[in-house]
Amino acid sequence: MSSNPLPFPQGFLWGAATAAYQIEGSAHAGGRKDSIWDTFARVPGAVADGHNGDVACDHYRRYKQDVALMKSLNMKAYRFSTSWARCMPDGVTPNPEGIAFYSSLVDELLAAGITPWLTLYHWDLPQALEDKGGWANRDTAYRFAEYAAVMHEALGDRVRFWTTLNEPWCSAFLGYAAGIHAPGRQEPRSALAAAHHLLLGHGLAARELRRLDADAALGITLNLTVADPRDPDNDGDRDGARRIDGQFNRIFLDPLFKGEYPADLLADVAHLGLDEAVQAGDLDIISAPLDLLGVNYYHGESVTKDPADLPTSVEADAAAAGESRRPASPFVAADGARSVPRGLPVTGMGWEVQPEGLRRLLNRLHAEYTGPAGIPVYITENGAAYPDVPDEAGFVDDQERLAFFAAHLQAVHGAITDGVDVRGYLAWSLLDNFEWSFGYHQRFGLVRVDYGTQERVPKASALWYSAVAAANAVPDADSGVSSAGAGVVLSV
């Protein structure tokens, strides 16, 4: 650790995160049936090289090994998702064998001194419910609340942190508008209906969990961005940034914290029927008080309405993933607004590295949402993919990823010194894994996974992060970021 460490508050929660479909494998073991991602991965051109999650990291069979690895890396919390398709394969009927897997995982975590943090939904809707309309069908919100109750009955005696949804923006707008995520639909009206029904499902599930356990820590995780006009003096760029902020951030934040959709958003999407999905009492359910907000941050946006023939960020993502289908815009009423490069360093995903945006985002949340609500923030995902090159032992000296983590943790520390109540940081991701439409071509893991042998080898970033977690402090920006343990391999 640096001689100039930046200390974090006592009790700050350090850990890592994963998602069920991305790591578990054993796709049809123990009574599990297809989720929308199983179905989507079979669509020609939907996922790079036809990859799927059938095996992934084989975590379903290797979870004890993975928990031991977390413990060796000083993880104090593990955010994982339960697969709705494993626990209730038809979306409505509990599957004891599938639920038992998560009970065993929770017991293993607790025995290792690791806090289990359960996310109920990380995009793997049972295909049986998609066949009935998916999240565009209001009934799915009620089925989600039933699922939440089933999972709490099984795990609520041991799990204290509960996240309802992970990144509902991706579920609604990449899945139902852009078509680059499951279920692969390109229907703007359905996307807006899905966004509302996801929020309603969150509210109904939170109400069920609160009824069952008044002391549980309940939250939702949103992926959020900072949308800046490329030219602050250009009316079109400012309007484009406003629209993307509305259709990315405020479409979820305002209903959750203010009990209403933003007026400008409603005007922007008036022709797409969002108001038709909203029924009396919905916003009261959605805006019930939370105990925390989970924030996922990867990069900000520089927004223009310049009609130059530049790829939008979603088009660039699709091209990088090798998709043959042309995606639609996830911003269903952004009127030509697009995100454009501004010359910053980029990750393997082509995403710009903008840690100062995280500090600005956290300060905005504190000023407008979480501060007035009196609730803390946890960074529930932050990380980067880079073209890892392992040595003969499988070790990756990933200094770019290490620097990414250092810069963003410095930004989090800065926000805390600004007065923002940030109480934890969960790195994305513990393991290299199935990266959605990119298949296995993009690696976000602190730990390298050899997909042929399933060997796990912590990278330099993992060793550095382990030291940060142990010290509860991060080196300051002038101290450098090299991992002192870069020659150590912890293969579990």
Domain segments of the chain as ranges? 5-479
Catalytic residue among 167, 381, 400, 435: 381
Percent of the chain with pLDDT over 70: 93
Q: In this predicted model, what pLDDT tens digit does every residue of 245-282 receive, in sequence order?
A: 999 999 999 999 999 999 999 999 999 999 999 999 99
pLDDT at 238 over 60: yes
What is the average pLDDT score of the chain? 94
Average pLDDT over residues 288-317: 82
pLDDT at 318 over 90: no
pLDDT at 487 over 70: no
pLDDT at 72 over 70: yes
On the CB side of 171, CA atoms within 13 Å amount to 25
Model confidence band, residue 321 (pLDDT cutoffs 50, 70, 90): low
Average pLDDT over residues 386-414: 98
The rounded distance, in Å, linking the Cα atoms of 140 and 130 is: 9
The pLDDT value recorded for residue 478 is 74
Q: At which residue do the structure tokens 């082509």 appear?
A: 350
Query: Given this structure, which CATH class describes domain 5-479?
Result: alpha beta
Average pLDDT over residues 416-421: 98
Average pLDDT over residues 471-488: 68
Average pLDDT over residues 167-192: 98
Average pLDDT over residues 378-405: 98
The pLDDT value recorded for residue 189 is 98
Model confidence band, residue 448 (pLDDT cutoffs 50, 70, 90): very high
Q: In this predicted model, what pLDDT tens digit does every residue of 47-69 receive, in sequence order?
A: 999 999 999 999 999 999 999 99
The pLDDT value recorded for residue 327 is 81
pLDDT at 314 over 80: no
Active site residue 153: no
The pLDDT value recorded for residue 337 is 94
Model confidence band, residue 339 (pLDDT cutoffs 50, 70, 90): very high
Least confident of 133-147, 300-314, 442-456: 300-314
The pLDDT value recorded for residue 490 is 34
The pLDDT value recorded for residue 147 is 98
The pLDDT value recorded for residue 477 is 80
Question: Between residues 388 and 3, which one has the greater pLDDT?
Answer: 388
Model confidence band, residue 489 (pLDDT cutoffs 50, 70, 90): very low
The pLDDT value recorded for residue 485 is 43
- Using DSSP bridges, classify how beta strands 115-121 and 77-81 pair: parallel, antiparallel or unpaired: parallel
Model confidence band, residue 468 (pLDDT cutoffs 50, 70, 90): very high
Three-class HEC string of the chain: CCCCEEECCCCCEEEEECCHHHHCCCCCHHHCCCEHHHHHHCCCCCCHHHCCCCCCCCHHHHHHHHHHHHHHCCCCEEEEECCHHHHCCCCCCCCHHHHHHHHHHHHHHHHCCCEEEEEEECCCCEHHHHCCCHHHCCHHHHHHHHHHHHHHHHHCCCCCEEEEEECHHHHHHHHHHHCCCCCCCCCHHHHHHHHHHHHHHHHHHHHHHHHHCCCCEEEEEEECCCEEECCCCCHHHHHHHHHHHHHHHHHHHHHHHHCCCCHHHHHHCHHHCHHHHCCCCHHHHHCCCCCEEEEECCCCEEEECCCCCCCCHHHHHHHHCCCCCCCCCCCCCCCCCEECCCCCCECCCCCECCHHHHHHHHHHHHHHHHHHHCCCEEEEECCCCCCCCCCCCCCCCCHHHHHHHHHHHHHHHHHHHCCCCEEEEEEECCECCCCHHHCCCCCCCCEEECCCCCCEEECHHHHHHHHHHHHCEEECCCCCCCCCCCCCCCCC
Model confidence band, residue 309 (pLDDT cutoffs 50, 70, 90): very low
The pLDDT value recorded for residue 308 is 64
Q: In this predicted model, what pLDDT tens digit does every residue of 132-164 receive, in sequence order?
A: 999 999 999 999 999 999 999 999 999 999 999
pLDDT at 323 over 80: no
